[in-house]
Chain A
Amino acid sequence: MAEHTIRFEPDDRYNAFLTVCPHPDHGKGDLSGIAVAVKDNISTLGIETTCASKILKGYVPPYDAHAVTLLKNAGAAVAGKTNMDEFGMGTSTENSAFGPTLNPRDTGRVPGGSSGGSAAAVAAGMVRMALGTDTGGSIRCPAAFCGIVGLKPTYGRVSRYGLIAYANSLETIGPMAANVSDVSLLMSVIAGHDRRDTTSYDRPYQHTPSAEIKRLRIGIPEEYFGAGVDPEVASVVKRAIGRLEELGAVTVPCSIPSMEYALAAYYVICTSEASSNLARFDGVRYGPAADTKKSWHAAYQDVRKQGFGPEVRRRIMLGTFALSSGYYGKYYAKAQVARENVRKDFARLLTDVDVLCGPTMPTIAFKLGEKSDPLSMYLSDILTVPVNLAGIPAISVPCGKVQGMPVGLQVMGRPFEDERVVDVAYAYEQAVKA
């Protein structure tokens, strides 16, 4: 398979990469010889994979994630592992144990998160394509902040096998690139069924983007332009939607009542699953070795206290609390109900309209260190998390600038209609390019 080697020695002034592979192998296929960056929570055989956490420092997976196997089969060269918020927890890539990534558009600002390294690597032109993961907006947010394209596929359309789990029921691996065609190309490589991920579907993606969107019905949820959304961002996005109307699409105002609870439900579910997923990091089989002179639970405590950053510890504590027997019904079970309502709202809306459009993020990329309290950071996920709760596809495509910083247009679609959101993004991209 791997017949050739490329040179990959980027000038990484943005701290986009945690590991660079200077001479990666590549083979033949649709991605032959293309350098693809891989987020550091996706397992790569023989390449250190840390989730940007000290607790996995030195961990070299003995296997490839399914998506990485597919990349290699398509001839791509795995160029390196990109920086991220530790275990995917964050919206700025400031929570990396190995230092934040800087936004190539303005190095004083964050690239967004958690796939900030992948977005920066693409935005800076270090690689043509990158894999990110999206749990509550982690592909779309950095795509919007860095001015590139990022697709969060339908849940189950890309195998999660090898993705180091943060919140299994919400997250997916997805493509990031400078333009829609490349995102579509990368998606065609990674989508499809994998028997090792029994939540994956046999729905391959074979699609060439089409700019034809005449008579397409686009829902415009009022909540996506409501309180908390920067008016300048809102007006840039509205203008972009105007361009889609010029292309023949029809807009329909609508509302997602369940939005009110989406963020709270999201944080209960993702922290609950995280508390369980991250329990295996105990220093016994990999990562920093525990002090074996201590009793095993004391040793675990040491390893976990020293290995996890503050945001990860916070979420583990939250999730542990939400799942504990006295509170399960009050939090986890209620969050599942709220999630079901979000899913139903989207299903109902998406019978009337073909896609929904709105801003990806409520603001432009914020300054490094600007959001110091966790709650204000969590609030910036408000427009992205509903999609993860519903499991539907969504894409972020650059649609203009505010204060010189990129703004993302988010297009959300029906389950397994990833092709359609890609087409809408492509139509917009082609229209503004012309």
Chain B
Amino acid sequence: MIDADVIVGLEVHCQLDTKSKLFCGCSTDYRDDGPNTHVCPICLGLPGTMPALNKRAIEYAMKVAKALNCTIVPESEFSRKNYFYPDLDKAYQITQYDKPLAQGGYVEIEGDDGKERKIQLTRIHVEEDPGRLVHMGNAERGRYSLVDYNRAGIPLIEIVSEPDMRSPKEARKFLNKLRATLEYLGVFDSEKEGSLRVDANISLRGNERVEVKNITSYKGVEKALTFEVTRQKNLIRRGLPVERETRHYLEARGITQSARSKETENDYRYFPEPDLRPLRVQSWVKDIALPELPDARRERFVTQYSCSLNHARTLTGELKMANFFEGVVSGDRAGLCSLAATWIADTLAGELNYRNMGIDCVDPHRFGSLLAILRAGTITDKSGVEVLRVMLDEQLKGETVETPEAIVARLNLAKTAGDDGALAAAVKEVISENPKAIEDYKAGKNGAINFLVGQVMKKTRGRADPGELNRLVVAALKDGGQ
């Protein structure tokens, strides 16, 4: 949907994948452990404790800033954002306010018009995550809530974009690109729960802006924004005003809902954190080295492997997929490049998505073997898909995954040779069973051939070589259809 009137800006909170928290030594790896097991006097905000800055977190943040073309500010500052909430142990959050670590920058995406577009960034700043409330029942009617401070003090960066996106789809692309970049940098694990949270601002030109808060999935952002575009357009169409407000996204229902309006405007009473010195990073900046980033890798895939731009884009859009591709075509399998690009970007990605599996479930060498037998002509494409499905299903069920060769043998999927008689017999059978198609063919309808080929395919369970089969069917029809 290209719509000149849609204006979207995003505030993206990303969790930096450090070993310890932002201001203390507690481990950030708490997800399999019980509540309040990764806490200390500092991240609990006990009286008398003080924050000591985790240098690694700042290095990670600087990597991101550099990769996103930002200006790193030589002297930034931490501030306190004061507000009361039960998950906020100190009743203030240590964040960066008027002197953030990085300013400016951009993220390049493919715009809805197919051209490269630069989405400008406003700033990147570093902050600590608060704890987490667990409502017993639900937030409104629950009997009580519990607080888990395991997350308190986890380092976050907030990446704030300019209102530069023109559609929900562009917002999604922006996020995908951002996620890919962060993953390539090795500073982010998108699979961790809560690792990325988005606040989206959306308006239709000339109307008030609406903020949709705390969207926690990539798809959610596009859905929430799409819902908002429709909702806001409907209001305008009916002559009603779009009110400036904060809304929540209800993931399960795919809608946004007005947040309970606050009685008073929040005044966070920001002021510089007296317990931390100003953050001077001048001497570190030159030591921040960047790995190959998604754009560079995409270009390399096009030149080195002759991938199509589209395939290269898909393959490099996720670090793991890009690594998988290069794993498959490594060593003596360099010849499989174009086959691998198609099979990974189109077939494998789809099959994995359908099963909700990650690409790291697949062994690149096994997958390479499958491509090798495809290329050798041992099986047809259709059989190839079947073999792949068996492999993935076995993996999903936790069974021993067979080699592609074993699956081919067990299911008797090897391509039916044209000269073994079986194929000719099958063609004969199909022709005798479908007199209507023969008449159509004789009446000059060439589509009848495709139908008959399909029927033979079905009989041979996809094992026939399509070219060979086509020849046989045409020959048989020319023979007079008998």
Which residues of A does B touch, CB under 8 Å?
A: 42-43, 49, 51, 56, 59, 61-63, 65, 160-165, 167-169, 195-199, 272-273, 275-276, 279-282, 284-286, 292, 296-297, 300, 320, 323-325, 328, 332
> Which of B47, B80, B91 has the most chain A CB atoms closer than 10 A to its own CB?
B47
* Contact between B50 and A196, CB atoms less than 8 A apart: yes
List the A side residues contacting B267 at CB < 8 Å.
324-325
Please list 20 pairs of residues, one from A and one from B, whose beta carbons are closer than 8 Å in the complex, sorted by A's number.
A61-B47, A61-B48, A62-B41, A63-B46, A160-B50, A161-B49, A165-B48, A165-B275, A167-B274, A168-B275, A169-B274, A198-B276, A199-B275, A276-B92, A276-B269, A280-B91, A281-B47, A284-B86, A285-B46, A323-B271
Contact status B271-A61, CB under 8 Å: no
Query: In this assembly, does B277 line the interface, its C-beta being within 8 Å of a C-beta of chain A?
Result: yes
Interface size on B, residues (CB 8 A): 30
Residues of chain B within 8 A (CB-CB) of A275 are 82, 269
Bound state CA distance, A169 and B271, in angstroms?
A: 12
* B84 adjacent to A273 (CB under 8 Å): no
Closest A-chain residue to B85, C-beta based?
A296
For the complex, what is the distance from the CA of A65 to the CA of B49, rounded to whole Å? Answer: 9
Q: Which residue of A lies closest to B143 (CB)?
A: A292
**Does B52 sit at the interface, judged by CB under 8 A?**
yes
In the bound complex, residues from chain A placing their C-beta under 8 Å from that of B80 are 276
Contact B92 A279 (CB under 8 A): yes
Report whether B47 and A198 are in contact in the complex, using a CB–CB cutoff of 8 Å: no
Give 1 or 0 for each of B34-55: 1 = CB within 8 Å of chain A CB: 0000000110111111111100
In the complex, chain A residues whose CB is within 8 Å of the CB of B46? 61-63, 285-286
> Using Cβ atoms and an 8 Å threshold, which residues of chain A touch B274?
167-169, 199, 273
- Separation of A325 and B97 alpha carbons in the complex (Å): 13
Evaluate contact between A43 and B47: CB separation under 8 angstroms: yes
Known: A198-B277, A199-B277. A280 touches B89 (CB 8 A): yes
- A297 → chain B, closest Cβ, in Å? 7
A-B residue pairs, 5 tightest by C-beta: A279-B91, A168-B274, A323-B269, A169-B274, A164-B47
Tell whether, in the assembled complex, residue B82 and residue A276 are in contact, meaning their CB atoms are under 8 Å apart: yes
Residues of A within 8 A of B42 (CB): 196
Q: What CA separation (Å) do A276 and B272 show in the bound complex?
A: 11
Residue B90 at the A interface, CB < 8 A?
yes
Residue B284 at the A interface, CB < 8 A? no
Answer whether residue B144 sits at the interface, using C-beta atoms and an 8 A cutoff: yes
Q: Whole-angstrom distance from the CB of B20 to the nearest CB of chain A?
A: 13
In whole Å, how far is B90's beta carbon from the nearest beta carbon of chain A? 5
Q: Name the B residues within 8 Å of A286 (CB-CB).
A: 46-47
Q: Collect the chain A residues with CB atoms within 8 Å of residue B374's CB.
A: none
What is the bound-complex CA distance between A196 and B86, given in angstroms?
A: 26
- Residues on A with beta carbons closer than 8 Å to the beta carbon of B86: 282, 284, 296
Q: Tell me if B302 counts as interface (CB < 8 A to partner A).
A: no
Contact A284 B52 (CB under 8 A): no
Q: What is the bound-complex CA distance between A328 and B270, given in angstroms?
A: 9
Beyond A61-B48, A276-B80, A286-B46, 5 additional pairs, beta carbon < 8 A: A61-B47, A164-B47, A168-B275, A279-B84, A284-B147
- Residues on A with beta carbons closer than 8 Å to the beta carbon of B144: 292
CA distance A63 to B43 in the complex (A): 13
Whether B41 lies near A63 (C-beta < 8 A) is yes
Docked-complex contact B271 and A276, CB < 8 angstroms = yes
CA distance A282 to B46 in the complex (A): 12
Q: Closest residue to A297 on the B side, CB-wise?
A: B84
CB distance A332 to B84 under 8 Å? no
- Distance in Å from the Cβ of B332 to the closest Cβ of chain A? 53
Partner of A197, one of B50, B84, B270: B50
Residues of chain A contacted by B84 (CB below 8 angstroms) = 279, 282, 297, 300
Other-chain contact of B271, A63, A198, A300, A332 (Cβ < 8 Å): A332
**Can you name the residue of chain B whose Cβ is closest to the Cβ of A321?**
B269
Does the CB pair B277–A280 fall under 8 Å?
A: no
Least CB distance from B152 to A in Å reads 11
Tell me which of A168, A195, A296 contacts B52 (CB under 8 A).
Answer: A195
For A323, the chain B residues whose CB sits under 8 A away are 82, 269-271
Report whether B82 and A279 are in contact in the complex, using a CB–CB cutoff of 8 Å: yes
B89, A198: Cβ atoms closer than 8 Å: no
Residues of B within 8 A of A63 (CB): 41, 46
Chain B residues within an 8 Å CB radius of A285: 44-46, 89
Least CB distance, B391 to chain A, in whole angstroms? 52
Chain A residues whose CB sits within 8 angstroms of the CB of B51 once the complex forms = 198
Question: In the assembly, what is the distance between CA of A59 and CA of B41, in Å?
Answer: 13
Give the nearest-CB partner of B92 in chain A. A276
B128 shortest CB reach to chain A, Å = 14
Centre residue among A195, A196, A282 by max chain B CB count within 10 A: A196
A279 touches B90 (CB 8 A): yes
Q: Which residues of A contact B91 (CB under 8 A)?
A: 276, 279-280, 282
Q: How far is the CA of A121 from the CA of B266 in the complex (A)?
A: 46
Instruction: Tell me the nearest residue of chain A to B45, going by C-beta.
Output: A280
Q: A168-B275, A279-B91, A323-B271 are in contact. Are A198 and B48 (CB under 8 A)?
A: no
Q: Which of A275, A279, A323 has the most CB of B within 10 A?
A: A279
Closest-by-CB residue of A relative to B42 is A196
Docked Cα-Cα span, A332 to B52, in Å, equals: 25
Taking the closest CB of chain A, its distance from the CB of B438, in whole angstroms, is 80
Q: How many whole Å from B416's CB to the nearest CB in chain A?
A: 72
Give the Cβ gap from A44 to chain B, nearest Cβ, in Å.
10
Tell me which residues across on chain A come within 8 A of B92, comparing CB atoms: 276, 279
Cα distance, A325 to B46, chains bound together (Å): 27
Residues in A whose Cβ lies below 8 Å from that of B271: 272-273, 276, 323, 328, 332
**Contact partners of A65 in chain B: CB under 8 A:** 48
Measured between alpha carbons, how far is A324 from B265 in the docked complex, in Å?
Answer: 12
B275's partner among A61, A198, A280, A281 (CB-CB below 8 A) is A198
A199 to B49 Cα, complex, angstroms: 13
Considering the chains assembled together, what is the distance between the CA atoms of A74 and B92 in angstroms? 36
**B397 CB, nearest partner CB in chain A, Å:** 46
In B37-76, which residues have CB < 8 Å from any A CB?
41-42, 44-53
Q: Could you tell me if A324 and B48 are in contact, using CB atoms closer than 8 angstroms?
A: no
- Report Cα–Cα, A325/B80, bound state, in Å: 13
Name B50's contact: one of A198, A272, A281 (CB within 8 Å): A198
The residue in B49, B89, B267 that gathers the most chain A C-beta atoms within 10 A of its C-beta is B49
Chain A positions within 8 Å of B53 at CB level: 198
| A308 and B82 alpha carbons, distance in the complex (Å) | 19
Residues of A within 8 A of B41 (CB): 61-63
- Which A residues lie within 8 Å of B89 (CB)? 280, 285
